[in-house]
């Protein structure tokens, strides 16, 4: 007979225990339960739920058909189970019970608190926009499980709209916290995007994926493309400049123009005499009075 149980027990997360018996006929029935330790003697024995039973036919040494039976039981750990024992019984069809108990195999380890996992960004979500092309740092932290003795590992991906996920580069991991690099892109300006991270505890437990919250994510802007036309500079003439801005995000609400010229090595500002703003700021016409042919834009 054999009993297999995982070494990591987390409070509130179901644990599966596998119990097997070999070379029986007819097929026996299995029964498992948890009996309290001396420290928790007042506790009522905890029941285990039978999830599945599989039966495999094998040939014995004399050619007879024998049966191997494998049963899987589940239990939801609580901290009071620490140090208690798993007891399993094989119940043959004859009704005679054979108790299978080897405490060194079945003693439950310390039931620890599970990790609470979170994602934060190095920038403040309420701060100004960050420009596409910048590198943002994503920090993943596993709380409350630091004293468990079971280290964690983090892996993260970026999802933008319906595009394929892009794995983020991990640049450091210290204890129960890790930092990953996120390059902000133009596609993140006006599309839904999210960071998804996986948390694995000592290759024994895979936590549900954790996702960044939209309210915590930095806002991303793209400068757009600016075209200037109308550099026709003549002394004592009006200078007309046409400015067009495309692909900017968020959409531009206003454009402020300044005109400068060099004199005696100093940069001087020329007052803009007229400012006309057209639809959606895609075109702006500015007129300024130039008093010197040495003016530069």
**Boundaries of every domain in the chain:** 2-112, 116-221, 225-289
Structural tokens at position 10 = 């987390």
Asked if the model's pLDDT at residue 273 lies above 60, the reply is no
Distance CA(243)–CA(254), nearest Å, equals 12
Task: Name the strand (E) or helix (H) holding 68.
Answer: strand 65-75
Q: Which fold is adopted by the domain 116-221?
A: Immunoglobulin-like (2.60.40)
Provide the greatest CA pair distance for the chain. Answer: 116
> Comparing 212-216, 240-244, 257-261, 262-266, which segment has the lowest mean pLDDT?
262-266
Distance CA(242)–CA(108), nearest Å, equals 77
What per-residue confidence (pLDDT) applies to 72? 96
Quote the distance between the C-alpha of residue 83 and its chain's center.
34
Query: What's this model's pTM, rounded to 2 decimal places?
Result: 0.70
Asked, colleague to colleague, whether 2-112 and 116-221 share their fold, the answer is: yes
Q: Which fold is adopted by the domain 2-112?
A: Immunoglobulin-like (2.60.40)
What's the average model confidence in pLDDT over 89-113? 70
């Amino acid at each position: 007979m054999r009993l297999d149980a995982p070494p990591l027990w987390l409070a509130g997360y179901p644990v599966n225990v596998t119990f097997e018996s070999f070379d029986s006929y007819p097929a026996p029935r299995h029964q498992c339960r948890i009996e309290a330790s001396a420290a928790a003697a007042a506790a009522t024995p905890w029941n285990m739920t039978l999830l599945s039973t599989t039966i495999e036919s094998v040939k014995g040494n004399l050619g007879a058909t024998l049966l191997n039976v494998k049963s899987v039981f589940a239990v939801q750990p609580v901290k009071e189970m620490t140090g208690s024992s798993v007891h399993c019984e094989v119940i043959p069809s004859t009704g005679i019970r054979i108790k299978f108990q080897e405490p060194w195999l079945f003693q439950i380890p310390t039931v620890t608190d599970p990790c609470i996992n979170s994602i934060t960004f190095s920038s403040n979500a309420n701060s100004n926009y960050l420009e596409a092309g910048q590198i943002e740092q994503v920090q993943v932290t596993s709380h409350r499980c630091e004293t468990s003795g079971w280290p964690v590992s983090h892996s993260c991906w970026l999802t933008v709209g319906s595009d394929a996920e892009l794995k983020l580069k991990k640049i450091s991991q210290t204890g129960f916290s890790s930092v990953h690099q996120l390059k902000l892109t133009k596609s993140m300006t006006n599309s839904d995007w999210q960071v998804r991270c996986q948390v694995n505890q000592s290759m024994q437990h895979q936590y549900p994926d954790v996702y960044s919250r939209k309210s915590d994510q930095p806002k991303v802007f793209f400068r757009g493309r600016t075209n200037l036309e109308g550099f026709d500079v003549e002394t004592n003439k009006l200078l007309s400049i046409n400015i067009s801005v495309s692909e900017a995000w968020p959409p531009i609400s206003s454009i402020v123009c300044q005109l400068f010229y060099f004199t005696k090595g100093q940069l001087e500002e020329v007052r803009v005499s007229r400012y006309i703003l057209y639809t959606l700021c895609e075109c702006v016409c500015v007129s300024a009075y130039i008093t010197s042919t040495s003016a530069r834009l």
